Amino acid sequence: MTIFEQLTEDMKIALKAGEKDRLSTIRLLRGQIKNAMIDKGEDLTEKEELLILNNAAKKRRESIEAYKAAGRTDLVEKEEKELGVIESYLPEQLGEAELEKIIDQVIDDVEAVTIKDLGKVMPAVMSKVQGRADGKKVNELVRQKLG
């Protein structure tokens, strides 16, 4: 079952259960995937669907930070609820130890030595973790290891 199909099923369940917050987030995600399908002219691959969900999660994380800085706890709670729904459709996130292991392996593979090799390491790591780690966190860890 594709993510789009899962979202459709979960939308029906949320509608029947009267879960308004969950329903609105699921509808938003379905709309984003549907728009991407229309733009592409065919169904999306699972990788493309995950990319859309990752972008939606990233936007929520950025919004949470901005709202916290502005002292808007009401909006922080709303964004956190949406983020929780989005994350339920994403693959389980890698732990820091697993992530560091992957980064170390990639650094060895591409023979990176200094921070100037960041451009070689980041794409290789991101292709291996594909949605299972936040790019910002990966970047921080790679910089620590190369710095």
Task: Determine the CATH number of domain 96-146.
Answer: 1.10.10.410
Question: What is the structure's pLDDT at 80?
Answer: 95
131: pLDDT strictly greater than 80: no
Rounded CA-CA distance 44/140 in Å is 31
For 54, the token pair is 């990752």
Q: Is there a contact between 103 and 145 (Cβ–Cβ < 8 Å)?
A: yes
Give the architecture-level CATH label for domain 3-87.
Answer: Orthogonal Bundle (1.10)
Task: Please state whether the predicted TM-score (pTM) of the whole model is above 0.95.
Answer: no
Which range scores top for mean pLDDT: 74-78, 96-100, 113-117?
74-78
Helices of type H across the chain: 3-17, 20-40, 46-70, 73-87, 96-109, 118-129, 135-146
Domains in the chain: boundaries: 3-87, 96-146
Nearest to 81 by CA among 38, 143, 19: 19
Q: Could you report the per-residue pLDDT of 5-51, keeping only the tens digit for each? A: 999 999 999 999 999 999 999 999 999 999 999 999 999 998 899 88
Which phi and psi (to 5°) does residue 86 adopt?
A: -60, -45
Specify the residue for token string 């199909």.
Answer: 5
Q: What is the DSSP letter of 90?
A: S
Rounded CA-CA distance 1/90 in Å is 14
Rounded CA-CA distance 125/123 in Å is 6
